[in-house]
């Protein structure tokens, strides 16, 4: 079964809508479309214990972002600054653009 292409992309501003991180706002650092997960800046922080190695140098407890499921986040529109669903529109020149379902404004600048 082929997975749908995610509507959320890197550097999008999103808000978490469910779970312990509900209400937190951040920018998307990475999107894993195969597993349908996103990593959001300063959201869903977990602690990892690491051993000293050549790459890391000093070991210890490292805090980093854990992935969230893509269905737990919503895009925030740049114009109306509200969480919104995303639609697609084909412009006159033939290019596709993502649009806000609430105000109809294009989200790709």
* Res 32: pLDDT: 94
What is the band of 2 on the pLDDT scale with cuts at 50, 70, 90?
low
* Res 3: pLDDT: 67
Mean of per-residue pLDDT scores for the chain: 92
Q: What domains are there in the chain, each with its CATH number? A: 1-51+60-76 (2.30.30.30), 78-109 (no CATH)
Percent of the chain beyond pLDDT 70?
Answer: 96
Residue 45 and residue 66 in contact, taking contact as beta carbons nearer than 8 Å: yes
Average of per-residue pLDDT across 22-33: 96
pLDDT in tens, 79-98: 999 999 999 999 999 999 99
Residue 76 and residue 24 in contact, taking contact as beta carbons nearer than 8 Å: no
Check whether 56 has a pLDDT greater than 80: no
Phi, psi of 71 (to 5 degrees): -75, -10
Q: What pTM was estimated for this model as a whole?
A: 0.87
* Res 6: pLDDT: 80
- Calculate the CA dihedral of residues 22, 106, 65, 52 and round it to 10 degrees: -170
């Amino acid at each position: 079964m082929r997975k749908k292409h995610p509507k959320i992309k890197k550097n999008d501003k999103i808000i978490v809508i469910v779970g312990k991180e509900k209400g937190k706002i951040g920018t998307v650092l990475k999107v894993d479309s195969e597993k349908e997960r996103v990593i959001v800046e300063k959201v869903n922080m977990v602690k990892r214990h690491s051993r000293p190695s050549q790459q890391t140098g000093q070991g210890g407890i490292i805090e980093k972002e854990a992935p969230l499921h893509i269905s737990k986040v919503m895009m925030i529109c740049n114009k109306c600054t509200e969480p919104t669903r995303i639609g697609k529109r084909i412009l006159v020149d033939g290019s596709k653009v993502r649009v806000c379902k609430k105000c109809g404004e294009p989200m790709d600048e």
